[in-house]
Amino acid sequence: MTDSKYFTTTKKGEIFELKSELNSDKKEKKREAVKKVIASMTVGKDVSALFPDVANCMQTDNLELKKLVYLYLMNYAKSQPDMAIMAVNTFVKDCEDPNPLIRALAVRTMGCIRVDKITEYLCEPLRKCLKDDDPYVRKTAAVSVAKLHDINAALVEEQGFLDSLKDLLSDSNPMVVANAVAALSEINEASATGRPLIEMNAPTINKLLTALNECTEWGQVFILDSLSNYTPKDEREAQSICERITPRLAHANAAVVLSAVKVLMKYMEMMGQDAEFVVSLSKKLAPPLVTLLSSEPEVQYVALRNINLIIQKRPDILKHEMKVFFVKYNDPIYVKLEKLDIMIRLASQNNIAQVLSELKEYATEVDVDFVRKSVRAIGRCAIKVEQSAERCVSTLLDLIQTKVNYVVQEAIVVIKDIFRKYPNKYESIIATLCENLDTLDEPEARASMIWIIGEYAERIDNADELLESFLDSFQDENTQVQLQLLTAIVKLFLKRPTDTQELVQQVLSLATQDSDNPDLRDRGFIYWRLLSTDPAAAKEVVLAEKPLISEETDLIEPTLLDELICHIASLASVYHKPPTAFVEGTGGLKRALPSRSGEEDASVMATGGASASVIPEPGSLIGDLLSMDIGGGGSTAGAGGTGNVDILGGGLDILGGTAPSAPVSEPLRYDSEESNSTDKSNAIRNTVIRLQSTNSLLGDIFGLSGTSSTTFHIPPKQVWLPAPKGKGMEISGTFSRKNGQIHMVLTFSNKAMQPMNQFAVQLNKNSFGLIPAQALNVPNIPPNQSLDISLPLNTNGPVQKMEPLTNLQVAIKNNIDVFYFACVMPIHVFFTEDGNMEKKVFLATWKDIPSANEVQFTLENIECNADGVSTKMNQNNVFTVAKRHLEGQDMVYQSMKFTNDVWALAELKIQPGNPSVTLAIKSRALDVCHSIFAIYDTILHN
């Protein structure tokens, strides 16, 4: 006899029949009827009409029947609140039952009934159950507090349940402690302020660690997770906690293992990295991580995502374990792809041979996604491990020979990158590549192939024919291919001008006349103009040396990585995004790795600082400050004429300066050109500067090096909006620059009597086009509380020149009113990380800028020497181009670049022993000079 009998129905109407059975006098019949009801409910049938009849069965001594009725009530109470209230009395009575099982069941069920009227009655029984003699009841009650908080948070605080819950942390029974921790952390997560409810101090930690050894596996996860929120006060404490946690690594439950790994990874950060303890702990971490990979595929997946983070932070931990990441052919695809990622990260000179032979094996598998990624991986190995490049190339060639279409295309895309990384080394294979020209049908592969042909046009005899063959279908090509084709043909023309004139004219006319793509037209026009006026300059622009591409392309940015390390084992670690980015309603509580005592935070950052990738600078404002300079500067007054060589020359200087480290630029806004086509000079400047992206178009894989400045000068916060003016809201703030993005750092203080919420921010049009990059994420601020927030800003907003230039008008709204205030931005936040000009370019530009655009200042009371000045300014993105010693004076030449691509050059005269320093600033945009002087003054006196 099975439960399936509960589904047999008669024609007469199921509900009717059940109703009569439920009201039967026979206990036996009643129970069977309730079972039928539950069975229907399980499959999603609506049996809510039976509510009163089922509720009537509640008063029974039979535990099973009681349970079943409770199950029913939990499900339908919400839809029948008035009926549910009838059950309250029974609940309250059951909470007093001598049988602890029934007491627990009653308090548990009451918490699940999400009806306000019932929760009011829950308070008293719950209070009693929290102090019950039986630990089973107490542990059930602890969870009920969390349920109640979910329904009515205010009630829980009012009734002091949080304190009772905290008392349970010192309960004698480990299960009770574990449940209290779980309940508290859930309440914590749901609360708006994000303030931790459990005050972590040594005694609490001790209690938790004791309970950790004795409670269930699930309780261990809760406890480990809350331990990971605690920052030990010193290295010794961290070490002793680690020692007590290490045995958890041998737990059979994968969740316990990974949570333990999280705590250990976080605490290890506090210790000297060469300390014996850290070394031995690192060794202990590897085996459990490897073991996770032999569990179910779902566990493997989560483990792999986490391992990906762990090896970015501590590459040593798994460096000898390459083999466990080898792919088995029947692994699910999501496991395969993750394994592949980790294989590349672990690839080194020692194991590259093995890795390559595996990758080659994978490239012949059936799954297309996996094969593509494997081919890509071979290319990444070549770029990462220089010694292996040759082998990788020959492997790729072997793969191309297979003629499998998608393999060939993928191989060509990666070979392009290999050419970028090792120029003039593997060009012998071009012939083989060219054989596959016809089979390429994906834009990326076609574009890559065209790039290769253009780049090595001088060595390919029939380059013109090859490129011409693409030209026939020019209109049908993808934009990416069109742009590439245009550049490649221009390259070809510059290299072999004699026989390709016709071809270049053809492509230029296609790009400029027959295309409606502004990107393509712009590039076409500028090439045309360059070629017709100054072919030498054209050569310099089009055939400019390309920056090298970096080896690791998808490393997680170090600050994000540090945050994610604190979230190992959580969803954040699976998505590789901070929880604030995807969990609804988190109070913006950011976790940070603790730093080692006595060391500055900066050192933690610096560990991975070199490989930081920079958020691309929006290049949309290029024209605007330049046009200011045209209006102000006298010598470029003749700029109105089209095709003026001087302008181009000037533009080239700018270009030359930016090229070495040009970031991937966003597409320009074309409306300026379209709407204002008479202002040709402006358009030309736009396009000239656009060219820097020509070079970088292919290399979407290069990151910038040496960017994040560790001691960037952040002016102290100023009160921008005093409380009386802000109806009780006080705002103070400052600006900073982190990882290439400007941040407005604000402190909101609520000095009013009521809570404030619904915050929003707007910035008025300003000189640098600053606009908020995201909405102002300020939660509810209760009275007498304050909150710090960092608002990232972009520079692609509307532009209006302000007086002074650095003035910024801000409007902030909350539930009370809208407030306006103005603040002054320190100009150095607009200095970009790529502002280091080459010496030659610096010289040329210096000469090129008229002396009318030079302003001299004197800096007083400077105590540091030339080197000190250099270092200080360098940290703020003012780069020293050259230094000279001249007649007892130190001359320092510095360059800086604004987010809108305006350059400023500076010359400092420093006499040893003399506290006055002469500062000369040259820029096409004269307006910035005063602000630059001011910032020099502040930084050097800081």
Rounded least distance, CB 321 to other proteins, Å: 8
Cis peptide, bond prior to residue 804, ω within 30 of zero: yes
Q: How far is CA 536 from the centre of its chain?
A: 43
CB contact burial 517-533 (16+ within 10 A = b; e otherwise): eebbbbbbbbbbbbbee
- Kindly state whether residue 886 participates in binding other proteins, applying the rule CB under 8 A: no
- Give least dist CB 308 to other proteins, A: 14
Scan residues 445-464 and list those touching other proteins (CB under 8 A). none
- Which residues, 17 to 36, sit near other proteins by CB under 8 A? 27-28, 31, 35
Shortest distance, CB of residue 278 to other proteins, whole angstroms?
19
* Dist. CA 221–CA 211, nearest whole Å: 12
Q: Where are the beta strands (DSSP E) in 503-597?
A: none
Under rule CB under 8 A, residue 14 binds other proteins: no
Binders of other proteins in range 48-77 (CB under 8 A): 62-65, 67-68, 71, 75
> Which lies closer to other proteins via its Cβ, residue 239 or residue 836?
239
CB 6, CB 39: distance < 8 Å: yes
The CA-CA-CA angle for residues 601, 602, 605, to 5°, reads: 100
One of 127, 152, 194, 218 touching other proteins (CB under 8 A): 218
Work out whether 751 is an interface residue with other proteins (CB under 8 A): no
Instruction: State which of residues 134, 468, 552, 554 lies at the interface with other proteins (CB under 8 A).
Output: 134
Q: Report the nearest approach of other proteins to the CB of residue 276 (Å).
A: 18
The answer to whether residue 217 forms part of the interface with other proteins (CB under 8 A) is yes
How many Cβ atoms are within 10 Å of 404's Cβ, its own excluded? 18
Amino acid at 741: Q
The closest of 479, 470, 483, 471 to 437, measured between CA atoms, is 470
* CA distances from residue 481 to 511, 524, 546, 665, 890 in whole angstroms, order as listed: 12, 14, 20, 18, 51
Nearer to other proteins, 108 or 690 (CB): 108
Residue from 15, 92, 112, 745 that binds other proteins (CB under 8 A)? 112
600-614 burial: b if 16+ Cβ within 10 Å, else e: eeeebbeebbebbbb
Answer whether 547's CB lies under 8 Å from 702's CB.
Answer: yes
Q: Is residue 845 a contact residue for other proteins (CB under 8 A)?
A: no
Hey, is 190 helix, strand or coil?
helix
Whichever of 222 and 419 has its CB closer to other proteins, that residue is 222
Between 301 and 842, name the residue whose CB sits nearer to other proteins.
301
Residue 146 CB, nearest distance to other proteins (Å)? 6
Residues 463-482 that bind other proteins (CB under 8 A): none
Smallest gap from Cβ 157 to other proteins, in A, equals: 19
The 10 Å CB-count burial string (b at 16+, else e) for 341-371 is bbbbbbbbeebbeebbebbbebbeeeeeebb
CB of 655 to other proteins, least distance (A): 43
Phi, psi of 817 (to 5 degrees): -165, 180
Q: In what order do the strands lie in the sheet with 718-721?
A: 718-721, 729-738, 741-750, 786-794, 771-772
798 binds other proteins (CB under 8 A): no
User: Taking the mean position of all CA atoms in its chain, how far away is CA 171?
Assistant: 41
Min dist CB 191 to other proteins, Å, is: 12
Q: In angstroms, what CA-CA distances link 278 with 87, 239, 248? A: 58, 9, 17
Among 490, 494, 491, 482, which Cα is nearest to 518's? 482
Q: If you ran DSSP here, which 8-state letter would residue 771 be given?
A: E
The nearest distance, CB 644 to other proteins, in angstroms, is 54
Shortest distance in whole angstroms from residue 593 CB to other proteins: 18
Cβ proximity to other proteins: between 214 and 600 the closer is: 214
For other proteins, the closer of residues 171 and 617 by Cβ is 171
| Residues 572 to 591 in contact with other proteins, rule: CB under 8 A | 572, 574-575, 579, 582-584, 586
Asked if 409 contacts 440 with a C-beta cutoff of 8 angstroms, the reply is yes
> 335 or 622, CB closer to other proteins?
335
Q: Which of residues 295-354 bind other proteins (CB under 8 A)?
A: 296-299, 301-303, 320-321, 323-324, 326, 328-330, 332-334, 354
Instruction: Return the range that interacts with other proteins (CB under 8 A); candidates 231-239, 566-574, 625-633, 703-711.
Output: 566-574
Answer yes or no: are the C-beta atoms of 799 and 769 closer than 8 Å. yes
Q: Which of 16, 45, 52, 78 is in the footprint of other proteins by CB under 8 A?
A: 78
Judged by CB under 8 A, the residue of 171, 225, 557, 937 near other proteins is: 225
Number of residues that bind other proteins (CB under 8 A): 107
Q: Does 646 bind other proteins (CB under 8 A)?
A: no
SS3 257: helix
In terms of CB distance, is 230 or 527 closer to other proteins?
230
Interaction with other proteins in 399-418: which residues (CB under 8 A)? 402, 404
Neighbours of 738 (CB within 10 A): 18
Interface with other proteins (CB under 8 A), residue from 206, 280, 294, 784 = 294
359 binds other proteins (CB under 8 A): no
Q: Is 202 exposed, middle or buried (0-12, 13-18, 19+ CB in 10 A)?
A: exposed
End-to-end CA distance of the chain: give it in Å, rounded.
85
The nearest distance, CB 101 to other proteins, in angstroms, is 5
Contact set for other proteins, span 232-291 (CB under 8 A): 247, 250-255, 257-259, 287-288, 290-291
| Residue 574 Cβ vs other proteins, minimum distance, rounded to whole Å | 5
Shortest CB 172 distance to other proteins, Å = 11
Residue with Cβ nearer other proteins (65 or 614): 65
* Cα atoms in the 13 Å half-sphere on the side-chain side of 656: 18
Site for other proteins in 144-203 (CB under 8 A): 144, 146-147, 150, 173, 175, 179, 182-183, 186, 189-190
Exposed (0-12), middle (13-18) or buried (19+): which is 472, by Cβ within 10 Å?
exposed
Q: Residues 42, 94, 100, CA angle at the centre, nearest 5°?
A: 90
**Which string of x and - marks every residue 484-503 that binds other proteins (by CB under 8 A)?**
--------------------
Token output for 858: 């004197």
Nearest to 373 by CA among 354, 358, 386: 358
Binding mask 80-109 for other proteins (x = CB under 8 A): -------------------xxx------x-
Among 571, 606, 760, 818, binds other proteins (CB under 8 A): 571
Q: Under a CB-based contact definition with an 8 Å cutoff, are residues 312 and 344 in contact?
A: no
Under rule CB under 8 A, residue 563 binds other proteins: no
Q: Does 364 bind other proteins (CB under 8 A)?
A: yes
CA–CA gap between residue 803 and residue 817 (Å, rounded): 27
Q: Does 358 bind other proteins (CB under 8 A)?
A: yes
Q: Which residues contact 665 (CB under 8 A, 6 or more apart)?
A: 616, 617, 618, 619, 690, 692, 693, 696
Nearest to residue 410, comparing CAs of 365, 366, 441? Answer: 441
CA distance 414 to 378: 8
Query: Cβ 3 to other proteins, closest distance in Å?
Result: 5
15 belongs to the binding site for other proteins (CB under 8 A): no
Question: Counting contacts by CB under 8 A, is residue 43 touching other proteins?
Answer: yes
CB of residue 621 to other proteins, shortest distance in Å? 34
Helix (H, G, I), strand (E, B) or coil at 905: strand
In the complex, the smallest distance separating the C-beta of residue 412 from other proteins, rounded to whole angstroms, is 18
CB of residue 371 to other proteins, shortest distance in Å: 10
